[in-house]
Amino acid sequence: MKHAISHRHTILVIEDDPDQCDTLQRQLEARDLRVVVAVDGFQGLAELARWHPDAVLSDIRMPAMDGLEFARRMRRDPRYRGVPLIAVTGLNDTVDVMATWGAGFDGHLSKPVSAQALDRVVDRVMRRSAGRPEPSH
């Protein structure tokens, strides 16, 4: 199926598990998206500032800075308040889901992420970000 999303859209994936990161990257690149990868929240903040992505997919449990702290810091910066932020995690009980919402996440994908669930999220966040101006690098 051909996706109508152009390569100008950038997704930041913050994931410390190399296999999970590779899977997400391949799935997103198959949709003609530019994928930027970070292994923890600190690197995620640096890549966020560098690329100004259209959306961020972030794991929750990571070394150095976890996804919840990344989300809180991202949401404190007015430049990124409108950027869709989706948790991609194995933490799926009610308390964990509520923690992601409380930290500023807009959605929650359970690992392992199915292609259909990823399609739905990508389509939703790309429609949401379609009106955002292209950042200058």
CATH of the domain at 80: 3.40.50.2300
Average pLDDT, the chain: 86
In a domain, 97, yes or no: yes
In a domain, 49, yes or no: yes
Whole-number CA gyration radius for the chain: 14
In a domain, 47, yes or no: yes
pTM of the model: 0.85
Residue 49 lies in domain:
10-129
- Sign of torsion over alpha carbons 57, 105, 127, 42: negative
In a domain, 90, yes or no: yes
| CA 41/CA 45 separation, integer angstroms | 6
* Three-state secondary structure call for residue 63: coil
In a domain, 3, yes or no: no
Total tally of structural domains belonging to the chain: 1
In a domain, 136, yes or no: no
The yes-or-no verdict on residue 5 having pLDDT over 70 is no
State the chain's maximal CA–CA distance in angstroms. Answer: 40
In a domain, 110, yes or no: yes
Mention every residue, 6+ apart, whose C-beta is less than 8 A from residue 91: 60, 61
Q: How confident is the model at residue 135 (pLDDT cuts 50, 70, 90)?
A: very low
In a domain, 137, yes or no: no
| CA 28/CA 55 separation, integer angstroms | 12
Q: How confident is the model at residue 90 (pLDDT cuts 50, 70, 90)?
A: confident
User: For 17, phi and psi rounded to 5 degrees?
Assistant: -85, 115
pLDDT tens per residue, range 37-73: 999 999 999 999 999 999 999 999 998 999 999 999 9
The yes-or-no verdict on residue 84 having pLDDT over 70 is yes
- Sign of torsion over alpha carbons 35, 28, 100, 52: positive
